[in-house]
Amino acid sequence: MTDTAAALDTAVALDAADALGAHVGRFVESDEVISYLDGNSLGRPLKVTAEKMVSFIRSDWGSRLIRSWDEQWMELPLALGDRIGALTLGAAAGQTVVADSTTVMLYKLIRAAVAARPGRTEILLDDDNFPTDRFLVDGIARECGLSLRWIAVDKTAGVTADQVRASVSEKTALVLLSHVSYRSGYLADMPGITRIIHDAGALVLWDLCHSAGVIPTELDAWHVDIAVGCTYKYLNGGPGSPAYGYVASALQSELEQPIWGWMGASDVFGMTDAYVPATGMRRFISGTPPVVGMLAMRDMLDLIEEAGMPAIRAKSFALTDYAIALIEELLVPLGVTISTPIAHEFRGSHVTISHPSFRQVNEALWAQNIIPDFRNPDGIRLGLSPLSTTFAEVLIGIEAIRAALTR
Amino acid sequence: MTDTAAALDTAVALDAADALGAHVGRFVESDEVISYLDGNSLGRPLKVTAEKMVSFIRSDWGSRLIRSWDEQWMELPLALGDRIGALTLGAAAGQTVVADSTTVMLYKLIRAAVAARPGRTEILLDDDNFPTDRFLVDGIARECGLSLRWIAVDKTAGVTADQVRASVSEKTALVLLSHVSYRSGYLADMPGITRIIHDAGALVLWDLCHSAGVIPTELDAWHVDIAVGCTYKYLNGGPGSPAYGYVASALQSELEQPIWGWMGASDVFGMTDAYVPATGMRRFISGTPPVVGMLAMRDMLDLIEEAGMPAIRAKSFALTDYAIALIEELLVPLGVTISTPIAHEFRGSHVTISHPSFRQVNEALWAQNIIPDFRNPDGIRLGLSPLSTTFAEVLIGIEAIRAALTR
């Protein structure tokens, strides 16, 4: 038996023993993809989503028509938000809403947050935050007359509590940090860092894009102020599905977002003269809810409820442990470096590795229907989605990288 | 033969003779709705949309997976925009983009427009504009230190060229008007009013929500600066489908929208330090395009291309003429008033009528599966969608209103 065949036996055995393994068959099967390792960019659809979409088009939209707004769609942003909050965020009802793109939701909540801390002149963030986050605060700082303070982080890790403590001050209005670094996969200490920020009297906004649906949080217990997450990665909402925003109950009435539309007004159908924001989370809605884009994530939430976040997190560790062990064995000897933290407490659900030739390697892999993600300048990210990724896929992907590097 | 039976014969004959009548069967048939007269709130889905959605989930999303971004989705906002531009707007390619909710798109383009006219301190609009438009500029005026100037319009009509001429001045940065009044259905003189606004050196933003897909425009020929439209009404994109925005070529490089995200940056995947807006319409994109919500409108655009906008507009006149004649015969004697202009040149595609008991009447009609739209305080809107509404539906709806009023 060759090494490769033995390794495949091991992977297959791991899949067979996996408590969540049976769920893999519930996702749409591709007739071409051999290994999909990009669940952190776009989660796969569930089979049931296709059936439900047809039923939605024929019944909810095609037959109930405009009445569906009264019957279900008006409440959907809040009902879906509550469900995400309960299942994945540790958030009591009435604090989470689904709306807009992640970028627009971040813009609205950042603007609302800095306006709620008048006299404080700084937004604090790290210099390896996702481009959108960095771009947004640059624009907001200019329009609101604020300055930006940057924490320089180790690009193979992420922001630490000590770094935040050294930078937050009585000038800080808002701290904007990512829970999991999009680049390294580093998991920040959300409760510890949140305490430090609050000790300085500032607000915190956690960007949950790379942890939403895969890493359980306790937003209420950790006294998080604001959070924004993405639903097309591990929540499998489909390409460009809308964001969710969380605002702690105690803070909601203090925050006013700047994009005033009828759906966020106190009296939606009153057609009143002046805008009065709704109470509660509805005030963070601007336009008509993007209903069609909100449907698929419901099916994934059903599956998350069935599987449970603790089991999902355990499988995420098992997959990333397995990937890291294989990388150390097969790729590190070829000059590949690992950016992702080895310690569980700092690890998200993707593993990032680097090598000067990875741009070409990634192209070669895609051509073979093995799909990881390339990130400038030399990173390959393996996004491991606990409910749909198999151990065999991880092995196939890493073996293919080795083959490409040794060709 | 009773009057009612004779009237129904007439309606059925009109449907049989209607050149677009054959298309009605291409929409999803409801097993319950007898008359749907709310196409101006939510257009009906096409049957083909259900099939295509399944194919999208299984193939584009489920099998091509992340590769679909490169293969089609990255270009979708611009490709779809160009198609809307060519088929319905009189807009050459490269000037229309599909993104965000209508509210968010309006916010971004209003902010961009007023920033492009520094030194001018006023936004001019009419006081019967849709609440979102009025609310948005109220918020924007506060944040940007501008003032609002309101044109008081006749609530049973809309804004006239004379009114705009009397109010626009060297202080005006932007004029924000609706092409078709959401309330009365009044159609504004877009080319004439645009000239007056330009003579004063101001920019104009036309809100096309109630004309998009049903009333052809010539945005390029009329030298319109900016326009925003809605895709879930007569473009049948589904509940909450994204908006489109049009910015004239010559103006694009002057306008910078305030919500800076990676998808609007010059180098999307460069993960660069600073935000540099893309050239062309891509700069008006902020977050990840809402792909799932952009699919259904493609099917309606196919049908619009097949039918042609001139035939659609002719059918819109035929339907509204028919409705107005029936209302005058059957409802005006019962105290109902008509807000919609009688002259074709000022008429959109919905007919609005008023009566003190219409809130109750509308509720009674919905319970009978006859679905018009109620608008505060006493209006019923009959939204007639030329490709899906039959003459028989118009008759049934108006007969039902008469019956409710005489009970």
Say if the Cβ atoms of B57 and A49 lie within 8 Å. yes
Q: Which residues of B304-327 are buried (b: 16+ CB within 10 A; e: fewer)?
A: beebebebbbebbebbbebbbebb
- Over residues A46-86, the pLDDT tens digits come to 999 999 999 999 999 999 999 999 999 999 999 999 999 99
Asked if the Cβ–Cβ distance from A290 to B240 is below 8 Å, we say yes
Q: How far is A183 from chain B (nearest CA, A)?
A: 10
Are A138 and B274 inside 8 Å of each other by CB?
yes
Would you name the residues of B annotated as active-site residues? Answer: 130, 207, 232-233, 381
Rounded CA-CA distance A405/A301 in Å is: 39
Nearest CB neighbour to A290, from listed B30, B69, B101: B101
Looking only at the bridges linking them, the beta strands covering A226-229 and A243-247 are antiparallel
Per-residue pLDDT at A202 exceeds 60: yes
Q: What does the domain layout of chain B look like in residue ranges?
A: 3-47+308-406, 74-304
Q: Which two tokens stand for residue B255?
A: 């306008």
Domain B3-47+308-406 of CATH type 3.90.1150.10 = yes
Q: Do A135 and B239 touch (CB under 8 A)?
A: no
Instruction: Residues A3-46+308-406: name the CATH superfamily.
Output: Aspartate Aminotransferase, domain 1 (3.90.1150.10)
Query: Would the CB atoms of A101 and B131 count as touching at under 8 Å?
Result: no
- The DSSP element (H or E) to which A102 belongs, if any, is helix A102-115
**Statement: the pTM of the whole predicted model exceeds 0.80:** yes
Beta-carbon separation of A366 and B136 below 8 A? no
Q: Any catalytic annotation for residue A232?
A: yes
> Hey, are the CB atoms on B138 and A376 less than 8 Å from each other?
no
The predicted pLDDT at position B268 comes to: 83
Q: CA-CA distance, A94 to A249, in Å (whole number)?
A: 7
- Which of A60, A100, A207, A373 is an active site residue? A207
Among partner residues B53, B62, B375, which is closest to A30 by beta-carbon distance? B62
Instruction: Kindly tell me if the per-residue pLDDT of A364 is higher than 60.
Output: yes
Q: Which helix (H) or strand (E) holds B138?
A: helix B131-144
- Tell me if B101 and A27 make a contact (CB, 8 A cut-off): no
Whole-number average pLDDT of chain A: 96
A120-134 pLDDT, tens digit per residue, is 999 999 998 898 999
Give the DSSP H/E element, type plus range, for residue B207.
Answer: strand B203-207
Residue of B nearest to A140 (CA): B258
Query: Percentage of chain A surpassing pLDDT 70?
Result: 100
Nearest CA in chain B to A240: B290
Tell me the nearest-neighbour CA distance from A3 into chain B, angstroms.
30
Residues 6+ apart with CB under 8 A from A178: A126, A129, A130, A133, A158, A188, A206, A207, A209, A210
Question: A332-361, pLDDT tens digit by residue?
Answer: 999 999 989 889 999 999 999 999 999 999
How is the beta sheet containing B172-178 ordered, strand by strand?
Answer: B96-99, B243-247, B226-229, B203-207, B172-178, B122-126, B147-151
Q: Which residues pair with A347 in a beta bridge?
A: A186
| CA distance, residue B138 to nearest chain A CA (Å) | 8
- Is the Cβ pair B135, A262 closer than 8 Å? yes
Instruction: Kindly state the tokens that stand for A92.
Output: 């009591």
B38 contacts A139? CB cut-off 8 A: no
Model confidence at A268, pLDDT cuts 50, 70, 90, reads confident
By Cβ distance, the residue of A63, A66, A237 closest to B41 is A66
Residue of B nearest to A260 (CA): B136
**Active-site residue A130, yes or no?**
yes
Choose which CATH entry (1.10.510.10, 3.40.50.720, 3.40.640.10, 3.40.50.970) describes domain B74-304.
3.40.640.10
Which of chain A's residues have a Cβ under 8 Å away from the Cβ of B258? 107, 139, 143
Residues of B within 8 A of A397 (CB-CB) are none
Q: What is the pLDDT of residue B211?
A: 95
Select which of A27, A107, A232, A244 is catalytic.
Answer: A232
- Looking at CA atoms only, how far is residue B229 from chain A in angstroms? 13
For B293, the closest of A269, A273, A293 (CB atoms) is A293
Q: Per-residue confidence of chain B (407 residues) as pLDDT tens digits?
A: 578 889 999 999 999 999 999 999 999 998 899 999 999 999 999 999 999 999 999 999 999 999 999 999 999 999 999 999 999 999 999 999 999 999 999 999 999 999 999 999 999 999 988 989 999 999 999 999 999 999 999 877 789 999 999 999 999 999 999 999 998 999 999 999 999 999 999 999 999 999 999 999 999 999 999 999 999 999 999 999 999 999 999 999 999 999 999 999 998 887 778 899 999 999 999 999 999 999 999 999 999 999 999 999 999 999 999 999 999 999 999 999 998 988 999 999 999 999 999 999 999 999 999 999 998 889 999 999 999 999 999 999 999 999 999 98
Specify the pLDDT at position B264.
95
Chain B nearest C-alpha distance from A220 (Å): 27
Name the residue of chain B whose CA is nearest to A262's CA: B132
A149 forms beta bridges with: A124
Amino acid B154: pLDDT = 83
Both tokens assigned to A325: 């062990």
B40/chain A closest Cα distance in angstroms = 10
CA dist list (Å): B35 to A250, B17, B364, B400: 47, 19, 13, 10
Contact A57 B50 (CB under 8 A): yes
Percentage of chain A modeled with pLDDT above 90: 91
Catalytic residue among A83, A233, A283, A347: A233
Interface test with chain B among A75, A80, A262, by most B beta carbons within 10 Å? A262
Q: How confident is the model at residue A256 (pLDDT cuts 50, 70, 90)?
A: very high
Verify whether the Cβ–Cβ distance B269 to A376 is below 8 Å.
yes
For residue A114, the distance in angstroms to the closest alpha carbon of chain B comes to 13
Reported confidence tier of residue A273, pLDDT bands at 50, 70, 90 = confident
pLDDT at A1 over 60: no
